[in-house]
Structure 1
Amino acid sequence: MKINGNEIRPGNVLEHNGGLWAVVKTNAVKPGKGGAFNQVEMKNLIDGTKLNERFRASETVERVRLEQKDFQFLYEEGEMLVFMDTESYEQLELLKEFVGDRRAFLQDGMMVTVELYEEKPIGISLPDQVTLEIAEADPVVKGQTAASSYKPAVLENGVRVMVPPFISSGEKIVVDTNELTYLRRAD
């Protein structure tokens, strides 16, 4: 769908210069001389490069709607991760690199959201929080208070996080999958 340059908002996905771009920031500029324009900062959805572009109100640009589908993580096979569409039961294979560092948080049966453009996956989002067990944590240092400092710990999936001193091996904690940080003890 075509939109005018002054209608571009953060969060929009645009087809521009043959690529797909997510709008990060916009700034409407009205110079004293000349016409007004929209200064737009965009990030490429495929390779992650950034671009600053000016769009005049009279210019039109193609706004793209991405399809979001829920998939269930099934298993890992070589360099591929296999997911299943929960509606059609079709399987989708994605390269491990597509998921990146967060693939360590994938658990059997976990629901993820895959963004598709013309049936081609271009993004994936995991749940914001997961519960994992501490595999290894340093012992508590006597006299250290909970507010003073955090200590390193290794989760069951091999990811290292900083946890408060009162957390010990074998405990389950809730971890933020975006920031890779400790949130709280699991219930």
Structure 2
Amino acid sequence: MKINGNEIRPGNVIEHNGGLWAAVKTAHVKPGKGGAFNQVELKNLIDGTKLNERFRASETVERVRLEQKDYQFLYAEGDSLIFMDLQSYEQLQLQKDFVGERAAFLQDGMTVTVESHEDRPIGISLPDQVVLEIVEADPVVKGQTAASSYKPAIMENGIRVMVPPFISSGEKILVDTNEITYIRRAD
């Protein structure tokens, strides 16, 4: 779908210079001399490079719609992660580095959303919060105030997180998968 250069908004995905780019920031500029333009910060969806580009209202760009599909995480095999399409039951294999460090939060049966363009995976989103068990936590030091002192703890997936002093080994906690931070005790 073609749109004018001044209609690009943050979050839009466009085809530009032969690649797929997501608009990160936009600013409409009206200089004293010359025509107005839209200053757009773009991020390449394939390799992550950034680019600042000016688009005039007279220019048109191709807006791309990404297909979003829900997949279920099945298992990890070496450097590959295996997912299953929830509608067709077809399997999808992605590399661990495609998911990044958040791959450690994948749990059996977890539902994730995979964004793709022309059947090529572009991005993946995990649930914002997961429940994990603490396997190792430092003991509480008497006299520490609970307000400001957090202690390091290691979760079952091997990731280190800072938790309040009252959390001990064997407890389940809710963790933010984007910030990799403790939220609260799990129910």
TM bin (shorter chain):
over 0.9
Q: Does 1:66 align with 2:66?
A: yes
Alignment partner, residue 186 of structure 1: 186
* Deviating 4+ runs (over 2 angstroms): none
Alignment partner, residue 117 of structure 1: 117
SS in 2 for 1:27: strand
Q: Distance in 2 between matches of 1:78 and 1:110?
A: 19
SS in 2 for 1:169: coil
AA aligned opposite 1:8: I
Alignment partner, residue 147 of structure 1: 147
Alignment partner, residue 166 of structure 1: 166
Alignment partner, residue 81 of structure 2: 81
Percent identical among aligned pairs is 84
Alignment partner, residue 31 of structure 2: 31
SS in 2 for 1:88: coil
Deviation of the 1:79 alpha carbon: 1.3
AA aligned opposite 1:60: T
Alignment partner, residue 107 of structure 2: 107
- Normalised TM-score (structure 2): 0.99
Q: Distance in 2 between matches of 1:77 and 1:35?
A: 55
Deviation by residue 1:114-167 (Cα, 9 ceiling, x = unmatched): 001001101000000000000000000001121121110000010000001111
SS in 2 for 1:162: strand
AA aligned opposite 2:182: Y
Deviation by residue 1:58-100 (Cα, 9 ceiling, x = unmatched): 0000100000000000011111100000000000000011111
Q: Distance in 1 between matches of 2:63 and 2:149?
A: 47
Q: Distance in 2 between matches of 1:30 and 1:132?
A: 51
| Number of aligned residues | 187
Q: Distance in 2 between matches of 1:19 and 1:150?
A: 44
SS in 1 for 2:94: strand
Moved more, 142-151 or 161-170: 142-151
Alignment partner, residue 49 of structure 1: 49
Q: Distance in 2 between matches of 1:84 and 1:98?
A: 16
SS in 2 for 1:76: strand
SS in 2 for 1:122: strand
